[in-house]
Structure 1
Amino acid sequence: MDLLPFSEYAASLNRKRTAAGVLLRDDRSRVLLVETTYKPEWEIPGGAVEAEEAPWVTAARELHEELGITRPLGTLLVIDHIRTQGVMPEGLAFVFDGGLITEDEVRGIQSTDPEIQSVGLYTLGEAETLVKPTLHARISTALRAADNGATVFCEAGHPATTVWN
């Protein structure tokens, strides 16, 4: 078996898109969602990881850019494998714990980001009508992970069923 030169091998490696978001919730387990101006579905605060940027840096940067919020991130709640969806290639999504936020804090958010139309706190049931099914599953899993203090590996938002040895 002939081996490729290392530079050719490195160039042949699969590239995955990567996104990072922040789960903010209130004391009633409602989650903070953002209404974007560029697509019909709502999102949690976050976005695409830029070249040479760590996912946790992305999450904190996007939280500040989108909502003007600067706070330390908590634990990593979810790592989600996302299959190719239309024009969007396969990827990984990271969700970090942003902690609790109050209704007064949410009402005080005045986003200057042109991508953000509005923000609000929503129950899981309400969120189901606003976000994509995969994100709804990811949010649900992230809420459970926050309650349990554990990171959950997911596939399309659902806990992975892979057996670990």
Structure 2
Amino acid sequence: MTTHPRPGTAEWDAYLAEGNAKQARKRVSADVLLRDAAGRLLVVKPTYKEAWDLPGGMAEANESPEDAARRELREELGLAVALRGLLCVDWVAPHGPWDDQLAFIFDGGTLSPGQISGLYPHDHELSACEFSPSDEALTMLPPRTRQRAAHALRALAEQRPVYLENGERSVP
């Protein structure tokens, strides 16, 4: 019979650290749907990708998806936005050199005219940002992001978050 160390001891902490080191790690991205008063979507043009993207980015170590989304908006666009909830989470299978990923999209609501008037790329990762009608914005996104964003738009309209696997609903 294996005995485990007692909680609160140095041995317990070492036991937990060993388990933590062996657990799987997931990449996490956190994007945000932001709209203007006309309902158009904000899309951004990264300098390191060919296609346009949704505002947001990758979470850092020990950073929650919501915190990552808020940080990315602040760093890249100078925006401070209160997120209004989760629209979708998508498990993305390993592809190319990448391990699997959890991709979140949050509702950032409608930006005020003041927020929009001061909107421009604030760091070297973005070269442009613009509002486009949602159908046009979707065509600007790469296929994986387009699928996820389309589901997020439906989730926004239905007021119900959705779980996806590789951009598809896993449950009808």
TM-score by length of 2: 0.82
Number of aligned pairs?
A: 161
* Aligned positions of 1:84-99 closer than 5 A: 84-99=94-109
Could you say which residue in structure 2 is the equivalent of 1:138?
148
Residues 106 and 119 in structure 1, CA contact (< 8 A), matched pair in contact too: no
Distance 2:38 2:170 in 1: 27
TM-score by length of 1: 0.85
Residues 88 and 155 in structure 2, CA contact (< 8 A), matched pair in contact too: yes
Matched, 1:110 2:124: no
* Aligned positions of 1:54-93 closer than 5 A: 54-93=64-103
Would the alpha carbon gap of residues 128 and 98 (structure 1) be closer, same or farther in structure 2, given more than 3 Å must change?
A: closer
- Ranges in structure 1 where 5+ consecutive residues have no aligned partner: none
Distance 1:103 1:119 in 2: 15
Residues 21 and 59 in structure 1, CA contact (< 8 A), matched pair in contact too: yes
Could you say which residue in structure 1 is the equivalent of 2:29?
19
CA RMSD in angstroms, aligned pairs only: 2.5
Residue 138 of structure 1 and its aligned partner are, at CA, apart by 0.8
- Ranges in structure 2 where 5+ consecutive residues have no aligned partner: 3-14
Could you say which residue in structure 1 is the equivalent of 2:12?
none
Q: Deviations over 1:96-123 (max 9, x none)?
A: 1000136774453122211010011123
Distance 1:28 1:135 in 2: 22
Radius of gyration: which is bigger?
2
Could you say which residue in structure 2 is the equivalent of 1:152?
162
Task: For 2:36, give the aligned amino acid.
Answer: D
Q: Deviations over 1:71-111 (max 9, x none)?
A: 21111110110111212211101111000136774453122
Could you say which residue in structure 2 is the equivalent of 1:49?
59
Identity of aligned pairs, percent? 38
